[in-house]
Amino acid sequence: MKNISIPNSDLDASEISLGCMRISQMANSDIATLLHTALDVGINFFDHADVYGGGQSEAKFAEALQMTPQLREKMILQSKCGIQQGYFDFSKDHILEAVDGSLKRLRTEYLDVLLLHRPDALVEPEEVAEAFTILQDSGKVRYFGVSNQNPMQIELLKRYVKQDILFNQLQFSITNTGMVDAGINVNMENPPSVDHDGSILDYCRLNDITIQPWSPFQYGFFEGVFLDNDKFPELNQVIDEMAEAKGVTNTAIAIAWILRHPARMQPIVGTTNPDRVKAISKASDITLTRQEWYAIYRAAGNKLP
């Protein structure tokens, strides 16, 4: 597993992260096997959120691992806060309370990374800035980021927040390519030319913000996986042929396609199957050619202008 040095930090992170959203209903023994498998293949970055499993994903993560200081130091733990039942909340009080809850459930004294979970329309960046400073000065959070935010939302935060924004979690997969479609179709009037994100891909590259693609195997908004799906025959044929030629699984090719982008993204995979973790990790050993990357892009139904 290759690592990436996260800009403006001392984080040496695996280029693939394991998302822990779905572990809350698993047996502790199965969770321990999953997590130790991830560590064994070189994954050291684990993504959480206070809402995953109603907090149980964080709690069971630490419980299953029987978290110790020695084990904790081998990991980079990231969590997110801000989603409430029916609304978003980036108030100072909520951020501080949410972090304390995550720390307790994860049995740790600090988070390596805290992300604001989706945008809050009522955000008061002055309050976010106060919360971030309190968390950093107290040692409870080392670094900060956001999810699903556009450039102007991040710029608004940056006007008040003194800490660097290191990450932005965004939906991106072979079948969810809006971030690159608009850039390819500049000055066109076809549907892919519509920029829904404010050039967020280029903005993140210009500002040393690491994009963390979520749901890298999903199409639509949690509508299902595109791999081995009859809805995507041409795409699966191209991926399967590449996988066979390179001696890896189709999951590895799907992640290698994301890793090939020079933005040095860090995809978050949410599998709970240890064997799939091993298979996906092989993506780190593959570098697709430019021709292969575009062949997959076209096979997903995208047309070049």
Residue-range definition of the domain harbouring residue 33: 3-229+263-282
CB 55 within 8 A of CB 105: yes
Backbone angles phi, psi at 251, to 5 degrees: -65, -40
Please indicate, yes or no, if residue 237 is contained in any of the structural domains.
no
Indicate which residues carry an active-site annotation.
52
Write the CATH number for 98: 3.20.20.100
Q: Which residues in 46-65 are b (16+ Cβ under 10 Å) and which e?
A: bbbbbbbbebebbbbbbbbb
**H or E stretch including 162?**
none
Please indicate, yes or no, if residue 170 is contained in any of the structural domains.
yes
Please indicate, yes or no, if residue 238 is contained in any of the structural domains.
no
**85 Cβ contact list (under 8 Å, min separation 6):** none
Q: How many domains does the chain have?
A: 1
Q: How many CB atoms lie within 10 A of CB 118?
A: 15
- Residue-wise pLDDT for 161-183, tens only, equals 999 999 999 999 999 999 999 99
Give yes or no for residue 285 having a pLDDT over 90.
Answer: yes
d(CA 223, CA 103): 32
In a 13 Å sphere around the CA of 223, the CA atoms on its Cβ side amount to 9
Please indicate, yes or no, if residue 156 is contained in any of the structural domains.
yes
**Model pLDDT, residue 222:** 82
Strands 17-19 and 268-269, sheet pairing: parallel
Please indicate, yes or no, if residue 241 is contained in any of the structural domains.
no
d(CA 117, CA 122): 14
Instruction: With H, G, I as helix, E, B as strand and everything else as coil, classify residue 249.
Output: coil
Please indicate, yes or no, if residue 297 is contained in any of the structural domains.
no
- Residue-wise pLDDT for 95-149, tens only, equals 999 999 999 999 999 999 999 999 999 999 999 999 999 999 999 999 999 999 9
d(CA 302, CA 133): 44
CB 210 within 8 A of CB 14: no
d(CA 272, CA 279): 12
Please indicate, yes or no, if residue 248 is contained in any of the structural domains.
no
Give yes or no for residue 254 having a pLDDT over 90.
Answer: yes
Please indicate, yes or no, if residue 167 is contained in any of the structural domains.
yes
